[in-house]
Amino acid sequence: FYLMRTYDTAMYFINRSLHFDKARALAHFQKGMILKETGDTAKAISSFQSAVELNQNYFEAYMQLGILAAAKKNPLALGYFDNALTIRPKSVEASYAKAKFLQDIRQYDKALHEYDSLLVIAPENQDVTYNIGAILFEQKKYNDAMKKFDLTIQRDNNFFRGYFGRGRCFEELGQKQKAIDDYKKCLAIKPDFDFASTQLDILEKRTGKKQ
């Protein structure tokens, strides 16, 4: 209740500022953020679009439009992220968002190209390295994928997703005990990681090693 009143108060002052000066891109952006937080994504998109119409170099507004479009698997997301990258060519945030969207819509070769370019800017980005491994896994290149997951673990032995990814590779390569060990390592770090617990349960039942 208190949070909703806070949003209502903020929206009141933003609307007043727009009433007196309709060309304020910042006010439209702030309005869009409030609408996004309260779940009205359609109106949020409209506000962000108003912001970029008023300021064609509004990086943050293009990013929000891209994020909202990507959530719906809408290919317009690519255009928004490209606009953001035109404004800030070395933005890790925009490059990652574009690559992740391409990965999510299964355009794996394009996603890999984007991730490879991103590694030039951020060579030790764990999420990028992991996602490359995940794509290679989907392409059934299990040994190549394992190298990427290994790298994430070498950099940070508490990177639980690295153990999960490597476990999936071990499982596909028929090395079931190593897979079980990695799933357990993953869960020791992140006990509520459901993907690992589900996979571990399936594998232990198959091997008769359920404890």
Q: What is the pLDDT of residues 15-59, one digit of tens each?
A: 666 554 555 899 899 999 999 999 999 999 999 999 999 999 999
Joined tokens for residue 177: 């005990």
The Cα-based distances of 178 to 135, 160, 184 in angstroms read 21, 15, 10
Joined tokens for residue 137: 């896994």
Please tell me the total number of residues recorded for the chain in this structure: 211
Residues 135 and 112 sit within 8 Å (Cβ to Cβ): yes
pLDDT tens by residue, 77-116: 999 999 999 999 999 999 999 999 999 999 999 999 999 9
Distance of CA 176 to the CA centre of its chain: 30
> Is pLDDT of 2 > 50?
no
Residue 133 CA to residue 49 CA, distance in Å, equals 35
Task: Please name the residue that has the structure tokens 């925009």.
Answer: 94
> Is pLDDT of 5 > 80?
no
Query: What pTM value is reported for the model?
Result: 0.84
Percent of the chain at pLDDT above 90? 84
Q: What pLDDT, on a 0 to 100 scale, did the predictor assign at position 11?
A: 59
Residue 196 CA to residue 137 CA, distance in Å, equals 16
